[in-house]
C-alpha cells in the first residue's frame, strides 16, 4: 500500500521529489515474517527521493515486541529533525 501511495504521489505536480526532499522519516515494521528486507528496500527508495531516514529502522514482531525506549528514541529523533527542517532557510 505504501508503494502505491508513493507511485500516486509521483504523478502529482512538477517535482514530486519536493514532497520527500529533506523530510524526516522513521521506518518500522511489525511482522511475523521478519520485514527486514522490506525495510531495507523502503530505506533505499526514501533515500533516493531525498528523505532523511532517521537512524535505524524499528523491526518488531509478536515474539519480539518493540521496547518503549526504542520507540521514544525514534520519535525524539524524528521530531528533532522535523524542527530542523522547519527552521531551515528556503530558496
Structure-block grid coordinates of residue 51: 528523505
Tens of pLDDT, residue by residue over 2-27, are 778 888 887 877 887 888 888 888 88
* pLDDT given at position 85: 52
Q: Are the beta carbons of 66 and 38 closer than 8 angstroms?
A: no
Note the pLDDT of residue 84: 55
Residue with cell 508513493: 6
Domains along the chain with CATH numbers: 2-87 (3.40.50.360)
If you ran DSSP here, which 8-state letter would residue 67 be given?
P
Amino acid at each position: 500500500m505504501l508503494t502505491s501511495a508513493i507511485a500516486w504521489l509521483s504523478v502529482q505536480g512538477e517535482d514530486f521529489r519536493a514532497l520527500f526532499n529533506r523530510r524526516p522519516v522513521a521506518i518500522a515494521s511489525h511482522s511475523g515474517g521478519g520485514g527486514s528486507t522490506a525495510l531495507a528496500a523502503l530505506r533505499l527508495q526514501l533515500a533516493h527521493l531525498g528523505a532523511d531516514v532517521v537512524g535505524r529502522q524499528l523491526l518488531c514482531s509478536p515474539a519480539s515486541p518493540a521496547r518503549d525506549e526504542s520507540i521514544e528514541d525514534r520519535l525524539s529523533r524524528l521530531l528533532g529533525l522535523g524542527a530542523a527542517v522547519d527552521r531551515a532557510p528556503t530558496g
